[in-house]
Amino acid sequence: MNLRYKSDIIGALAGSLCFVHCLATPFFFVAQAGLAIDEASHPWWWGTLDILFLAISFFAVYWSTKNTSKSWIKCVFWSLWILLAVIVLNEKLEIGHLMEEVIYLPTLGLISLHFYNRRYCRCEDDNCCTDQ
C-alpha cells in the first residue's frame, strides 16, 4: 500500500476523527464532572490525541501537496495546516484565549480540501506537478 497516493483519504479520515474528537471533548468533560473532583482532570491520552492528529495531518498535507495538479491547492493546504497547528499549540501552551469553536474552521477546511483534491486535482504521473 503506497501511502503517498492515499494521502487525501488519510487526511480526510484524520481530519474527520479530529473533528469528532473536538466535538466530543465538551461532552466528555461534562460526563466526567460527576466523577472527578478537579474539573481539569482527564485521561493523559485524551490530550495527546490533538498532537497525534496534527502529526498525521502534517504528513497527509505533505503528500497531498506533492501529488496535486493545482498549485493554489498547495498554498491553501499549508495555510490551513499552519492555522490548525497554531490553534492546537496555543491551546496546549495557553498563550492566548481563543474561542473553542475556532478549531473547527481549519479542520473542516482541510477535510473539504482533501476531498476536493482527491476528486479534481490528482496527478496522473510523477511529472505533472513539477516546476509549477
Q: Is the pLDDT of residue 88 over 50?
A: yes
pTM of the model: 0.70
What is the three-state SS of the chain? Answer: CCHHHHHHHHHHHHHHHHHHHHHHHHHHHHHHHCCCCCCCCCCHHHHHHHHHHHHHHHHHHHHHHHCECCHHHHHHHHHHHHHHHHHHHHHHHCCCCCCHHHHHHHHHHHHHHHHHHHHHCECCCCCCCCCC
Indicate the pLDDT class of residue 5, thresholds 50, 70 and 90. low
